[in-house]
Amino acid sequence: MLSALLLSVAAMADSVADKITINDPYIRAVPPVVKTSAAFMQIQNSDKVERFVVDAATPVAAAVELHMHTKDGGVMRMRQIPHIHLPPNE
From first to last of its 90 residues, what are the pLDDT tens digits of the chain? 555 555 555 555 557 778 999 999 998 889 989 988 888 899 999 999 999 999 998 888 889 999 988 898 999 998 999 999 999 999
pLDDT at 28: 85
The answer to whether the beta carbons of residues 21 and 43 sit under 8 Å apart is yes
Residue 82 near residue 66, CB atoms below 8 Å: yes
Look at the pTM and tell me if it is higher than 0.75.
Answer: no
CA–CA separation, 41 and 44 (whole Å): 10
